Amino acid sequence: MRALKNLATVAGMAMAIAMVPATPALADDHEGMAMERIGDHPNLNGVWQVMNSANWNVEPHSAGPNPLEAGDRLMGAIGAVPAGLGVVEGGAIPYNDAAQERLQYNRDNVINYDPEAACYLPGIPRATYMPHPFQIVQGDGDDILMVYEYASANRVINIGEVGIPPIDTWMGTSYGEWDGDTLVVTTLAQGPGLVKLPAGEMVQGVTWLDRAGNYLTSNATVTERFTLREGGNHIDYHVTIEDPSIYEQPWEMDMVLYRHVEDDAQILEFKCVPFSERLLYGDLIAE
């Protein structure tokens, strides 16, 4: 029944997107300006996007060549990796010894085995900091919808107590509550299951955090905090990730989300399945 309720909620909220302005009527982002609110809570409605290189690597990293051996020859600087200061507090993810084999496997196979390359759903928190915008659709006292440009992904933030998800899914199940003016979202049960890789190999999937192969498992608890700054055009985005199966301790990320303030701000379509077919099924396609 909960699954049916969520499907109905997604459908209803998706229809509401066209009726919710992507950019609320806000003046310039000045410190001390009154915050736009919906009922008792800050108005998070809008189209948001990061301005960092976390999707390439959440840890600090230098600029580098295309990770694929033939990438530089085929793409030149277009496929190069931009430098980044990182978004992980303390700089490094505290992997334990048990995580090292899978971590090395991921790193040995970037970009080919990255779920993003195959147009699989990105999971949380990666969906937030991919190089695509996303839209928050918020009503008064109801569940919240987040819609992502990448692969038409979406998730419902179920406002209420954290429950036990009935099944593992690519995007997990998200529960939300308000801590003062901060939206706190807990996401559980991110488990892709068996995943098809190029040339037909099937492996037990994990949620990648970036193109560098950093990852979490279905045991992870991801806690996001969305805090709207005064002025309304920036969100302080804080993430805590707990996964005792692969991390020595919980760890955290911080970044800023920027509101698109153009009059025509909107998310467009990036249905990437056709773009991934040669990667996944190239061995079956006659040249």
Q: CB atoms < 10 A from the CB of 98, how many? A: 12
Confidence of residue 132 (pLDDT cuts 50, 70, 90): very high
**Omega of the bond leading into 125 within 30 degrees of 0 (cis):** yes
Band (pLDDT 50/70/90 cuts) for residue 282 is confident
Give me the pLDDT at residue 134, please. Answer: 98
Alpha helices in 20-178 (DSSP H): 71-75, 100-108, 126-129
Considering the entire predicted model, what is its pTM?
0.89
If one counts every other C-beta atom within 10 angstroms of the C-beta of residue 36, the result is: 17
Kindly report, residue by residue over 219-239, the tens digit of the pLDDT: 999 999 999 999 999 999 999
Residues 6+ apart with CB under 8 A from 256: 50, 51, 234, 235, 236, 237
pLDDT at position 107 over 90: yes
Give the number of other Cβ atoms within 10 Å of residue 278's Cβ.
11
Query: Rounded mean pLDDT of 121-145?
Result: 96
Query: Residue 32 pLDDT > 70, yes or no?
Result: no
The pLDDT value recorded for residue 21 is 53
Mean pLDDT of 195-220: 94
Q: What confidence tier does 55 reach under pLDDT thresholds 50, 70, 90?
A: very high
Q: Are 251 and 88 in contact (CB under 8 A)?
A: yes
The per-residue pLDDT for range 146-194, each reduced to its tens digit, is 999 999 999 999 999 999 999 999 999 999 999 999 999 999 999 999 9
Confirm if 197 and 113 have CB atoms less than 8 A apart.
Answer: yes
Task: Let me know the angle formed at the C-alpha of 4 by 221 and 135, rounded to the nearest 5 degrees.
Answer: 60
Q: What pLDDT, on a 0 to 100 scale, did the predictor assign at position 199?
A: 76
CB within 8 A of 101, min separation 6: which ones? none
Per the CB < 8 A criterion, the answer to whether 252 and 263 are in contact is no
Report the percentage of the chain scoring pLDDT > 70.
Answer: 88
Q: What is the mean pLDDT of residues 77-90?
A: 97
Tell me which of 37-46, 190-199, 224-233 is least confident.
Answer: 190-199
11 pLDDT band (50/70/90 cuts)?
very low
Q: In the prediction, which pLDDT does 15 show?
A: 45
pLDDT of res. 46: 98
For residues 264 and 138, give the distance between their C-alpha atoms in angstroms, rounded to a whole number: 19
b/e map of 236-245 (b: 16 or more CB within 10 Å)?
A: ebbbbbebee
* d(C-alpha 9, C-alpha 144), whole Å: 9
Judge contact between 141 and 157, C-beta under 8 A. no
Nearest to 216 by CA among 271, 168, 260, 257: 168
Mean pLDDT within 37-42: 94
pLDDT tens per residue, range 245-272: 999 999 999 999 999 999 999 999 999 9
Question: How confident is residue 27, by pLDDT bands cut at 50, 70 and 90?
Answer: very low
- What is the C-alpha separation between 252 and 273, in angstroms, rounded? 32
Closest CA to 173 of 159, 194, 158, 152: 158
